[in-house]
Structures are given as structure tokens and as C-alpha cells.
Amino acid sequence: MDLSSIMQQARDMHEKMAKIQNELANKTITGSAGGGMVNVEATGRGDIISVKIEPELINPAEATMLQDLVTAAVNDALRKARELAKQEMTRLTGGIQIPGVTNLF
């Protein structure tokens, strides 16, 4: 394998990674807590799109519980976004663990 072939493979991988990053930005994941009473929607890149809270949870006396549920739902959505990104990168690398590539997200 010559140097130009290696450079072409690197360019191809870079293009595929950029494509995957764009695809991840357009995919959505929902994290939830409290049995679905709090839902957080995020992109595959980990950007929070929306937070939905069932009206019956909005009670000033239960503010601490609501805050905990929102935190849990956000963490669930972000965990799912990281897992989706990892799956997409594994697809790109054919399952080969490449340091710095498979852990980009």
C-alpha cells in the first residue's frame, strides 16, 4: 500500500465521519423519567431539543422531585445520544476500535 492510497483512505474516512455527524444531528432520541412523565428530546449529537413535563407534575411543593426527574431524563437522552453515535462510528469502522475515532462523541 503506497502513501497516496493511505491518504485517499484517510480522506474517505474523514468524509464518511462528516456524513455520520450530519446524520446524527438530524436524528432524535427521547430520554424519559418518572414513567414517561418527563421526556427530553435530543439530537444524536447530544443537543437538547425539547423538554416535556406532564402538567400534573408542575406543583411548587414538588419542585425538587421535578428537578430530579428533568435531570434524569436529560441524562437518559444524552446517554442514548452517545450510544447512537458510538453505533454509527462502529458502523463506519467496521467494528474496529480506532483510538480517537470511535470515542469522538
pLDDT tens digit sequence for 13-56: 888 888 888 888 899 999 999 999 999 999 888 889 999 999 98
pLDDT at 11 over 80: yes
Task: Give 13's Cβ-side CA count (13 Å radius).
Answer: 16
Domains of the chain, first to last: 3-93 (3.30.1310.10)
Q: What percent of the chain has pLDDT over 90?
A: 35
Sequence-separated (6 or more) residues with CB below 8 Å from residue 84: 24, 27, 29, 44
Distance separating alpha carbons of residues 62 and 41, to the nearest angstrom: 23
Instruction: With cut-offs at 50, 70 and 90, classify the pLDDT of residue 99.
Output: low
**What does the pLDDT read at residue 36?**
93
Residue 88 has pLDDT above 90, yes or no: no
pLDDT at position 104: 52
In sign, the C-alpha dihedral spanning 68, 73, 74, 78 is positive
